[in-house]
Chains A and B, each alone.
Chain A
């Protein structure tokens, strides 16, 4: 696989993740992730510094397995959460993907920029969460899957709620 094909494979994963989230195709979204994946949104410690240690510092999200995401999807589908009823609508825009670090036939790191527009239907307000993604992708049985996702959320001053599908 040449460099162009590899980048195309990476951007395809990013675009599919955005599609599955916005279209609420939760099972397909979950299936993009390895079971032992890490999903991490560090918290800002000061105006300039962001957490580097999820074991000793608070994160916005930190899951060390896909189970953390599955709990969220269960909650979304349960109809039991006021914050998710009706479910906010989202549009993820993901752009500027570049490969960085070691790129092999079976593993690569792709960095990108995101903006997630969220329309909170319940109170007719909207908000844009934005920042950068870092996806660690691995190829298993010919399919690229997400082994690790780090979301650097630039605007962490949150209006009332934030969930995994809003970033």
Chain B
């Protein structure tokens, strides 16, 4: 490790208009190990939606850092979350992403647990010749330290010493509400998801979802295909994605929401192309004109460290799992109002597939440039990346008029024309990165 102090890796000097991150932050395997322990296993992370486990005995299995966990709804409807490992020999007891099981029985020696994680059978226990000390042991599946939900989204912290989920999310809750309140009867994940990896650091995805600046270069082919469809030069008329080029003369901005969370927003040039438009009267009457206006704006929200909700051509929910310093696994869903009309759902799905699928017209270009970045990080040694300063002169501490309208108190706000294509949305994550890694660094020579 180059520095023993995490703060040395990030230069954050707003008075001079400087924000730089050392490229080791994306390429140093020792720093990655610390991130897994201090960030993913050290605080709140998103796991799944409550309505992915709607019925008694439904379960959902996922990973938090290195740890596999099971979210399970018990017989009485109470949600639990425990580590996916048998108390006997340690075998993983769950091998599928989701399902319904009253009992989880280990395939190895048959120890059995109910859907609340309680051990109810140790095979051939009576003949086992165990001492009293064994009987005194707790044999239940190990619960995670903290487990809570907000707006139907379930979060876990493997570290008990964290603020409440509500305090951790802070003003980001207002932006989660702008997503989760879109459906009169709530929101659901559209069945079918995309699961992919890329050979790059997890923070490349973290930043890219807030990146205005790459659209016209990385996604040039997508933008031109949309232009051709609009001009009637494409026979593919099943998709009516908005024309992002028209955004450039429109207002756009961002909020640093603290604790690593951030959101970028932009006015939508063709709101009528959004599936939400079909329900806008009902939505407006329910949530009011101000919030309906914000729901129609493009908003890409990052809940640090692993949840992203992007509302642009369609509404996407992504989770980020770090596998190695240079390997990341993604799961991506389309999020939709419960009971959405067939024609609106059809538009939503086709626009999701067209842009967001890893088999679509945009995401493959993102993943490939992430791999270019990862390859490039190691090509220079001691160097600071220059990708955090577009828009820095428009960045103001605290709230602006848009924040006041929403009733939030962000750490910092910025507004300007979309053409500024700001990069200051990423600051929040690296400020949190410094906080989370500080104090955890092993002593290293400088």
Question: Chain A interface (Cβ within 8 Å of chain B)?
Answer: 35, 41-47, 51, 54-68, 70-71, 74-75, 78, 80-84, 122-123, 156-164
Minimum C-beta distance from B8 to chain A (A): 32
List 18 A–B pairs whose Cβ atoms lie within 8 Å, in order of A's numbering: A55-B345, A56-B191, A58-B193, A58-B357, A59-B192, A61-B353, A65-B235, A67-B238, A70-B234, A75-B221, A78-B224, A83-B364, A122-B371, A123-B371, A156-B195, A160-B358, A160-B364, A162-B196
Q: Are B195 and A158 in contact (CB under 8 A)?
A: yes
B230-271 contacts to A (CB < 8 Å): 234-238
Q: Are A56 and B220 in contact (CB under 8 A)?
A: no
Across chains A and B, the number of contacting residue pairs, with CB separation under 8 Å, is 142
Could you mark each residue 183-195 of chain B with 1 if its beta carbon is under 8 Å from any beta carbon of chain A, else 0? 0000000111111
Q: Are A43 and B193 in contact (CB under 8 A)?
A: yes
- Provided the pairs A157-B195, A158-B196 are in contact, do residues A63 and B361 lie with their beta carbons within 8 angstroms? no
- Which residues of chain B are near A59, meaning CB under 8 Å? 192, 349, 353
B334-350 contacts to A (CB < 8 Å): 334, 342, 345-346, 349-350
- Provided the pairs A61-B353, A78-B221 are in contact, do residues A68 and B236 lie with their beta carbons within 8 angstroms? yes
Q: How far is the CA of A66 from the CA of B196 in the complex (A)?
A: 27
B192-229 contacts to A (CB < 8 Å): 192-199, 218, 220-221, 224-225, 228
Q: How far is the CA of A45 from the CA of B97 in the complex (A)?
A: 10
Minimum C-beta distance from A71 to chain B (A): 5
Residue B367 lies at the interface, judged by CB distance under 8 Å to chain A: yes
How many chain B residues touch A (CB < 8 A): the figure is 47
- Which residues of chain A are near B368, meaning CB under 8 Å? 82-83, 122, 160-161
Minimum C-beta distance from A18 to chain B (A): 19
Q: Are B358 and A68 in contact (CB under 8 A)?
A: no
Identify the closest chain A residue to B346 (Cβ): A55
Residue B365 lies at the interface, judged by CB distance under 8 Å to chain A: yes
- Which residues of chain B are near A51, meaning CB under 8 Å? 191-192
Minimum C-beta distance from B368 to chain A (A): 4
Minimum C-beta distance from B278 to chain A (A): 15
Q: Are B353 and A58 in contact (CB under 8 A)?
A: yes
Minimum C-beta distance from A167 to chain B (A): 9
Identify the closest chain B residue to A120 (Cβ): B368
Residue B318 lies at the interface, judged by CB distance under 8 Å to chain A: no
Minimum C-beta distance from B230 to chain A (A): 13
Identify the closest chain B residue to A60 (Cβ): B359
Minimum C-beta distance from A128 to chain B (A): 16
Could you mark each residue 368-391 of chain B with 1 if its beta carbon is under 8 Å from any beta carbon of chain A, else 0? 110110010000000000000000
Q: How far is the CA of A84 from the CA of B222 in the complex (A)?
A: 13
Q: How far is the CA of A163 from the CA of B363 in the complex (A)?
A: 11
Q: Are A80 and B221 in contact (CB under 8 A)?
A: yes
Q: How far is the CA of A35 from the CA of B97 in the complex (A)?
A: 39
Could you mark each residue 155-192 of chain B with 1 if its beta carbon is under 8 Å from any beta carbon of chain A, else 0? 00000000000000000000000000000000000111
- Which residues of chain B are near A156, meaning CB under 8 Å? 195
- Which residues of chain B are near A158, meaning CB under 8 Å? 194-197, 358-359
Q: How far is the CA of A68 from the CA of B372 in the complex (A)?
A: 28
- Which residues of chain B are near A65, meaning CB under 8 Å? 235-238
Q: How far is the CA of A84 from the CA of B7 in the complex (A)?
A: 39
- Which residues of chain B are near A62, meaning CB under 8 Å? 349-350, 353
- Which residues of chain B are near A66, meaning CB under 8 Å? 235
Minimum C-beta distance from B60 to chain A (A): 11
Q: Are A64 and B218 in contact (CB under 8 A)?
A: no
- Which residues of chain A are near B98, meaning CB under 8 Å? 46
Minimum C-beta distance from A125 to chain B (A): 8
